[in-house]
Amino acid sequence: MPDSLEAQRIELHGHPVTYRRGGRGPAVVLIHGITSSSRTWDAVAPALARSHTVIAPDLLGHGSSAKPRGDYSLGAYASGIRDLLVALDIPSATVVGHSLGGGVAMQFAYQFPARVERLVLVSSGGLGSEVSIALRAATLPGADYVLPVLASAILRRTGAATGRVIGRLGLQPSPDLRGLAEGFDSLGDADARRAFLHTARAVMDSSGQRVNAEDRLYLTRHMPSLIVWGDRDRMIPVQHGRRAHQLMPGSRLEVFEGAGHFPFNYAPGRFTSVLEDFVATTEPARFDDVQIRRLLLGG
C-alpha cells in the first residue's frame, strides 16, 4: 500500500491484528471481503486519506492478522472492529464494507449503532440468498480436501504466469480478476484456508447466503446510508443493492455501469468522489437507547 497509509500491528485478546492507517479528518473504516485484506482498498485509500482518517484492518483470518481457531461469525468480526476502534481511541466513524465486509458493517451498525456515523455498503453480502456458485462450493462436504489442491503453489504460480502472458499481449486483467487473484493467492496458507471455510460456512450453505439483514434494514432510517454496486457483478447480483435501497429509507444508490464485484477498482476516482460527497453532505448519525427503542417498537 502506498506510503500515505502505514501498516501497524496491535494485539487484541492475545491475537495480533494488522491494520493500515493514514490521513487526518473524520474517521472512515474500510472493511474488506472474504479472502481479501486491507490491500483490496489500495486504489482508493490514499486519496481518501487526504481528508479523512482512514483505518483499514485485516480481519482475523485474513491478510497479516492472526488466523486462530475460533469464531468467524459476522458478530465476532463486528466485535473485532469495535475493539480495534476502542483501542485506537476512535469513538465513531463512517463504516464502509465490501462483500463480506458489507455484512460485517451491517452487523456492526446493529450491535454498536452509537459508533456508526454513516453506513456504506459496497457489493454487499447479507442482502439476499443469491451468491456465486464458487463461494457456495466452499460449504460443501469435502471442500476441506479440495481447496488445498486448488490453492497449491504450482497452480498459483501458473496463474501468475498467465497474468504475465496477458500483460505481454497488451491486455489488462479485469479489476475483478485482480481482486479475486489476491484472495486465491492467500489460500496457499493452511490457516487462511481454515479461516476461509469457517467464515464461508458461517454465512452460506449450498443453496446460497443464509444470513439476510433485510428484516432489520428499517433501523437505518436515521443513519445516512450509501449503497454502491457494479451492474455486472457476477458474485452478488446488483438486484440485492436495489432491493436494499428500497428498504433503507433515505439511502443513496450508486450503480457503476460496466463494473463488476470490485467497483472501487473499476472506477477509483468516481468511487472516491461519491464517498467524499456522501460524507460531506450528510450529518453523522447520533443514536441513544431511547431512539433505538422507538425504532424497534415501530415508532
Distance in angstroms (rounded) separating the CA atoms of residues 200 and 211: 11
Question: For the chain, where are the alpha helices, taking DSSP H only?
Answer: 45-48, 74-87, 100-111, 133-136, 143-150, 153-168, 175-186, 190-203, 238-247, 263-266, 268-280, 289-296
Q: Tell me if 24 is assigned to some domain.
A: yes
Q: Tell me if 232 is assigned to some domain.
A: yes
Q: Tell me if 72 is assigned to some domain.
A: yes
Contact indicator for 279, 26 with CB cutoff of 8 Å: yes
Contact indicator for 133, 200 with CB cutoff of 8 Å: no
17 and 89 together in one domain: yes
**Catalytic entry in 52, 92, 233, 251:** 233
Q: Mean pLDDT in each 10-residue stretch from start to end of the chain (299 residues)? A: 76 96 96 93 96 97 93 95 97 97 96 96 91 68 49 46 46 68 72 85 80 89 95 93 95 96 95 98 88 80
Pair type for strands 225-230 and 252-256: parallel
Q: What is the CA radius of gyration of the chain?
A: 18
- Domain membership of residue 192 as a residue range: 134-203
**Catalytic entry in 37, 92, 99, 123:** 99
261 classed as catalytic: yes
118 and 11 together in one domain: yes
DSSP 8-state assignment for residue 188:
T
Q: Tell me if 144 is assigned to some domain.
A: yes
Contact indicator for 56, 20 with CB cutoff of 8 Å: yes
Number of domains in the chain: 2
215 classed as catalytic: no
168 and 223 together in one domain: no
64 classed as catalytic: no
Contact indicator for 95, 116 with CB cutoff of 8 Å: yes
Instruction: Identify the domain boundary among 159, 184, 203.
Output: 203
Instruction: Identify the domain boundary among 168, 186, 203.
Output: 203
Instruction: Identify the domain boundary among 188, 203, 218.
Output: 203
pLDDT value at residue 121: 98
215 and 287 together in one domain: yes
pTM over 0.95? The answer is no
Q: Tell me if 1 is assigned to some domain.
A: no
